[in-house]
Structures are given as C-alpha cells and as structure tokens.
Structure 1
C-alpha cells in the first residue's frame, strides 16, 4: 500500500511553525489544507520531559539479549552520543544566558591610588568603591524573542541528541547482524574447503586408478585454492566487522566480540503509521522544525533592532582619602540615568541583517521540505523491501534445496564414473552461491527492518494505515 505523501509546493509543514510572524514578509505559497492536517506541532523538550524523545525500545523486538546489551552499552559509551549530550548541555547554558538578559546587570568596582610626591610626609591617597546596575526595558519584546529562540534551539539540540542515539542504536544493530552474517559465511567457507578437499582426494584416487586424467586433478586443486582464498577473505571481513562494532561501543578494537550462532527470527510487522506520524517521530524533522521557529524569531529580533531602545543605569560610589573616611555616609553618591537610543545610520547593516535572516529562513524551509521527502522515501523503500526481500528469500531457499540435491546426485555419479569433474564443480559452486545468497537475504531482511525503525524515528505504529506483512515476516 502506498505511503501517501501530502506536501505543499514550496513549504512543508508550516502549520507546525505558525508562530513565525516573520513569514509574512517572505510570502510563501499557501499550504494546502491536506498538508496542514498531517503536519505536527513538535513540543519544546526540556529536562523535565525526556519521555517525549524518540526511544530505542524497538531493539527488543528482535528478541536478542546480546544485541540489547550491546545497544545499551553503546548508548552509554559511544563517543558521538557523548558529544551530542555535551552539545545539549551547551545549549542549556546558552538558554540560561539568554534569560539573563531580562534581568539587571550589577557590577562592582574598586580602586586604590597612592601618589608619591616630593613634599615630605605627603602621599595623597584615593580610595573609591562603586556599584553599577544597568537594565534594558524590553519595549518591543526583542529580549523575550531571544529567550524563546534559545529555547527552540535547545529543543532542536535535544532532538539531535535523540537522533544520535537512534542512529547509533541502528548502527550497532546493523553491525551485529553483519557480524553474524560474516560468521555464517566464514563457516560456510570452511565447509566448502572441506568439500573441495574431499573432491580432490576422490579425483586423485581416480587419477591413480587411471580412470581420469591429470587435468581433473588440476581443476580440483584449483577449486580448493579458490575456496581457501574465499575463506581468507571472509575471515578478514569477520575481523573487520568485529572491530567496527567494538569502536561503536567505545572499546579498543581488539576483535574480542563473539557473534551469535545464527541470525534472529524476523519479528512480525503490523503497520508503519501515517505521514504525520513520521513527522512527529523523526528526530531530524523535529530538530529542523524547532530551528525553523528559532529562525523566525531571529527575523523578529533583527527587525526590532531597528527600533529605539530604553535603558536605565544606576550607580553608587564612595570616595575617600583613608579607610576611616570610606564608610562616611556623607561621601555616598547616587546616580540614576535613563537613556534612549535610536539607530539612525549604520550603513545599511541592520536592514541587511533582516534580509539575511529571511534568506536563512527560506533556506531552512527548503531543508525541512527535503528532509520530509527523504523521510517518506526511506519509509516507502523499507515497506517495499519487506515484501520484495521476502520473495527473494523464498526463491533462494528453493534454489538452495535444488542445488543441494543436484550436488549430492552428481557427487554420487562422479564416484561411479558417470559424471565429469566439471559437472561436479559446477554443482558445488551453485550450491555454495545459493547458500551464501540465502544467508545474505536473511540478514538483509533484518537490516531492512532496522532501516524502517530508523525511518520511522524509532518505532512502528500498530494502528497505521498500511497493510500487514505478517505473512511475510512469519516465513522461516
């Protein structure tokens, strides 16, 4: 069933950014009602609502305890996730800095001056203590817009953190399945080497008995060498994937992780949700939406920089020639000054800044549209892969069964002298190819399911609008 895409011609999901007053200047084409109905309004995440972030609970659906433990380890130790967590901390501090602009700034100063003169017993001393407080009245809401923009940026950074966790969970899961596939293929190569060596011994006995020629022995030796070469290549790949997985876990790549004996059973798929569900769950989409809102506020801030500002400045100071006179109340001086400033000429800098912020918003709108299209594409491809990969696996199982039967019969006929070595080697090659492809197909179905979880932002919606694939998923 099609994963229906509802998009505006120029802007996707502006209903999620309805608070952007600055969009009126850009004059985008109106968003169709259908697109408005599927576009979510993402929440602003904070420390109090971590449950709103997309999760990695989908890993448990594979019923693999080792995989679950590896993903948990990676989520705690992976360098990319730790880096993303540090960026969230930095964004929190930036939000606090923005909030501080709403409050007065108070500074204290002091000075002690002692002047040496040529006059005897005269060393003039001046001691000054002062406190200065400044505060800007938020007449037009510019400071408030800055605070809100920082909050939106914080929400975007938290979405990036959720995306990093989702990505690493997917990478670890894919690497684990690749590792199991590599082990199965390595074991297949080991069995194939044994099979080719057995065929070589049989051919040598036939040659020694005068039944066959030396060319058959050479062909058998060539097949053994080819099987050994393939085994070495697969062993190298197994080692490489093991180290890759260890790096994801922030371990030293020492090739110590042991793969499972077989790939897990593919869990059933009940549904994948609606287009609006994808936009609500994808961390990259949520981050872009938060940044759209922040950028809209940046335009408002740039425009309000063209307006007058009102600030208050209060100072109090004490001056004395000795510490005894320092705290004399008569020496206390208080000043309170109100000042207004209006930009008159700055070479077009402020207006150019407004135009720049509007251009950045248009850029982010296009990025949002592109990300939404990419999300829909990934879900469509994953859904299509569910059925196609199932059909491929069924065909490869049939191919393997037939190849095994043909190999067994030809090996018997070769022993009886009724088949040539070329026929036997061809049958063995077909069986080996079919078995290897079947292992790859099983792994690819699992990998496709992981890609679907990632495309959906870390979950599957059971009450979705798509047809069930239980029949495909239940296949061996």
Structure 2
C-alpha cells in the first residue's frame, strides 16, 4: 500500500521539501481550509436551534404631557425564552445535514491537498527534467560545433562537399533552437512552481536540480472496497449523499405540526425605585399545523429527493472513476516502462551506428549525409529518453493519487 504522504516513497529530500512547502503556503489550499471553517460555523449555527432562545429586554420612555401616570415615566425590564420541541426530528435532521456538509468540506480540503501535492511533484519532475534537457542541449551544441570545425578543415582539403557544411549548420541551428526552447520551458516551470509554493514568480526558490529520483517499487493497490474507504473524493461524494438524505428528511418532517413553548417575565414601574418590586410572568404553548401552503412543502420534498438522487448518481460515478484511474495508471506505467526499454535499446544501436559511420567516413567509405542523419537521430533519442523517464515518474504520481488516502497537514494537525 502506498504511504499516506506518497512523496516519501521516492526518498528524495528535495521533493519532500518542495511539496511540504506547497502544502503550507499555497493560497488556494488555504482558501479551501477557510471554506471548511465556514462550514463548521454553519454547523454551529444550525445546532443552536436545538437550544432555547433567551432574550433580555429593557425599555425606558417618558411622556409629555402626563396622560396616565405620575411623572410620565415608563420603565420596563424583562426576560423571555422560546423553545421549539423537536417532536419529529426536523431540526435534528437539519443539523445532521450540516454535519455531513462540513465533513464534505473537510474531505474537499484533503482532496485539494492531494491534488496540490501531485501537481507540485509533477511540476518539480518537469523542472528537473527540463534542466537536464538544457544541459544535454548544451553538450550536443558543443559536439556539433566540434564536428563543424572538423568538416570545415576537411572541406579545405577537398575531402568534403559544401552541401555537407550547410547540412551541419542546419543541425547546429536546430540544436540552438532546442536550447532556446528548454531555456523558455525552464523559466516557465520555475514561475509555475513559485505560484504553487505561494510566492511571487520573481522570488523563485533555489532547489538543487541535479537528478531525478529512482522509481520506487510498485505499491499494492488493495481491494476495491479499501480504495473507496481511502480516497477523500469518494468519501466526500458519500458525505454529500448523506447530507442530501437528511435535508429530504427535514423537508418531509416540515409537513408535521410544530410545538413551541414561550416563557416571559417582566417588571414595570413609573420610576427606578419601584422597578424591582412588581413583576409578572407568562408561560404559553403554541402549536402550528400546516394546512394549505399552495403545494410549497410538497415541492420542497420533491426538490430534496431529486437532489439526493443526483448526489447518489454522482457518488456512483466518482467510485467508477476511482477504479478506472487506478487501472489506467497501472497500464500506463507498464507500457511506459516498455517504451523506456525500447528507447534505451534504440539509443544503444544509434550510438554504435554513429560510431561505425564516423569511422567509415574518416576512411572515405561513407558520405557525410549518413553521419549527419545518424548523429541527429542519436541526439533526438537522448532527449526522448529523458522525457520518457520523466513521464514514468509522472505516471507513478498519478497512481499514488489514484490510491490516495487523506494525509495530515499542519492545518489538520490543529484540529481537536
């Protein structure tokens, strides 16, 4: 089974540092956390309906001219409490719905954290690969410049044609173009990584970009049921189903009678000295039974039922997509490894062919066009092999993401 923090499987301290910094400083992820905190606040607000509402009132007035009482003053103070008995569980169902929604918001944060870690890992591997591609382009440029000097010397002695020099110049300019391309990609990837780390692109972080990590052993995928229990996006979809179910229950129970109790106590006087001498209280019960609302309550039940069914179908789709993503990642990794083996074999053959053609060219057996085409092919295979190795690492990240479970961040570690 893959570890919760999948990047630790690569045993690359630089990769771990980059991803941990992204999880700590990324602004979008911080926004997702605030969304979860807002969902918790809504849950607290909904829970308050399970308790009585208590209010205190104070009233002071003066009348001129004095109509009914001496001094023209009217002082009142009182306390009132109101409480609805949740006979049918309507309020409790609403609370449960918000509880599931807050869980969904937390799982959405975990999904966002997993997505961010994967995006950061892929961007980092692309950055390292592009840096290596740039180094390779510089080496190939130096090689092609040396060959250019060699064939110019042979041209002066009449051993080579002018068209061969032009062809070599074309290869030289093509290599320069590759170098410019990789320089551009490197700058863009640095900007992309900076934004993922929550810092301005002009403040690009400095990380070693020496080499790509080794591919870890293939993790066990586990049983499909374990996959459903691990993935936060699947759990989030299930939480939304349960929230919709509780909302439908609340809508159904809103059609039943409501019973509420009201208790109030009040003191009244014409002056402050006598305010606390006399007081009165009132206890009342109130029952409301819906009779005719123009079909509004039934329509709400139908709406919540449709939403519940929608969430149920979405949950099934998320589960199917989760299964497919695991299978797709396994297939892509297997085929990518086969492709790398083929590219390595092609590169070996190209190097041997290029070496043999150079010997034949120096001995006057082969023409320079064969050497040029072989050299171009070898250099292209070197670039293709680096890119294929990067794609293999990206495919492994996609597999870890497909097998993802929620992992703890600095924010989740502060939860009670």
Matched, 1:84 2:51: no
* Superposition pairs of residues 276-355 of structure 1, within 5 angstroms: 276-328=225-277, 330=278, 332-355=279-302
How many residue pairs get matched?
402
Q: 1:433 to 1:404 in 2, by over 3 A?
A: same
Paired residue for 2:411?
A: none
Shift of 1:259: 4.5
Q: For the residues of structure 2 that align with 1:178 and 1:135, how far apart are their CA atoms?
A: 61
Paired residue for 1:201?
A: 149
Shift of 1:213: 2.6
Matched-pair contact (CA < 8 Å) for 1:379–1:455: yes
Paired residue for 1:261?
A: 210
Q: For the residues of structure 1 that align with 2:287 and 2:101, how far apart are their CA atoms?
A: 31
Shift of 1:118: 9.3
Paired residue for 1:116?
A: 64
Matched-pair contact (CA < 8 Å) for 1:242–1:257: no
Gap regions ≥5 residues in structure 1? 1-53, 460-476
Shift of 1:357: 0.5
Paired residue for 2:119?
A: 171
Matched-pair contact (CA < 8 Å) for 2:248–2:305: yes
Paired residue for 2:409?
A: none
Matched-pair contact (CA < 8 Å) for 1:193–1:224: yes
Matched, 1:157 2:157: no
> Tell me, what secondary structure is at the counterpart of 1:418?
coil
> Tell me, what secondary structure is at the counterpart of 2:84?
strand
Q: For the residues of structure 2 that align with 1:417 and 1:114, how far apart are their CA atoms?
A: 120
Paired residue for 1:93?
A: 41
Question: Which has the larger share of helix?
Answer: 2
Q: For the residues of structure 2 that align with 1:55 and 1:410, how far apart are their CA atoms?
A: 50
* Superposition pairs of residues 37-186 of structure 1, within 5 angstroms: 56-117=4-65, 124-186=72-134
Shift of 1:227: 0.7
- Cα offsets for 1:270-301 (capped at 9, x unmatched): 42111111101111100010111111111110
Shift of 1:56: 4.1
Matched-pair contact (CA < 8 Å) for 1:179–1:259: no
Aligned match for 1:381, one of 328, 339, 347: 328
Paired residue for 1:15?
A: none
Q: For the residues of structure 2 that align with 1:270 and 1:170, how far apart are their CA atoms?
A: 16
Matched-pair contact (CA < 8 Å) for 2:63–2:72: yes
Shift of 1:117: 3.3
Aligned match for 2:310, one of 352, 355, 363: 363
Matched-pair contact (CA < 8 Å) for 2:88–2:253: yes
Q: For the residues of structure 2 that align with 1:190 and 1:387, how far apart are their CA atoms?
A: 32
- Cα offsets for 1:97-122 (capped at 9, x unmatched): 12111100011122221233399xx8
- Cα offsets for 1:45-76 (capped at 9, x unmatched): xxxxxxxxx97422111010011111111111
Aligned match for 1:272, one of 209, 217, 221: 221
> Tell me, what secondary structure is at the counterpart of 1:265?
coil
Q: For the residues of structure 2 that align with 1:416 and 1:276, how far apart are their CA atoms?
A: 68
Paired residue for 1:372?
A: 319
- Cα offsets for 1:211-249 (capped at 9, x unmatched): 223222222112111110111001110111111111111
Matched, 1:405 2:352: yes
Q: 1:95 to 1:139 in 2, by over 3 A?
A: same
Matched-pair contact (CA < 8 Å) for 2:232–2:405: no
Q: For the residues of structure 2 that align with 1:237 and 1:118, how far apart are their CA atoms?
A: 87
- Cα offsets for 1:332-353 (capped at 9, x unmatched): 1211110000111112111000
Q: For the residues of structure 1 that align with 2:369 and 2:63, how far apart are their CA atoms?
A: 108
Matched-pair contact (CA < 8 Å) for 1:55–1:162: no
Shift of 1:451: 0.5
Q: For the residues of structure 1 that align with 2:344 and 2:350, how far apart are their CA atoms?
A: 10
Query: Normalising by the residue count of structure 1, what TM-score does the alignment of the two structures yield?
Result: 0.81
Matched-pair contact (CA < 8 Å) for 2:14–2:207: no
Query: Normalising by the residue count of structure 2, what TM-score does the alignment of the two structures yield?
Result: 0.92
Gap regions ≥5 residues in structure 2? 407-416
Q: 1:412 to 1:114 in 2, by over 3 A?
A: farther
Matched-pair contact (CA < 8 Å) for 2:265–2:281: yes
Q: For the residues of structure 2 that align with 1:89 and 1:55, how far apart are their CA atoms?
A: 27
Q: For the residues of structure 1 that align with 2:143 and 2:370, how far apart are their CA atoms?
A: 15
Paired residue for 1:235?
A: 183
Matched-pair contact (CA < 8 Å) for 2:52–2:82: yes
Q: After the TM superposition, which parts of structure 1 deviate over 6 Å for at least 4 consecutive aligned residues?
A: none
Q: 1:96 to 1:319 in 2, by over 3 A?
A: same
> Tell me, what secondary structure is at the counterpart of 1:343?
coil
Structure 1, 375-384 or 122-131: larger mean CA deviation: 122-131
Matched, 1:446 2:393: yes
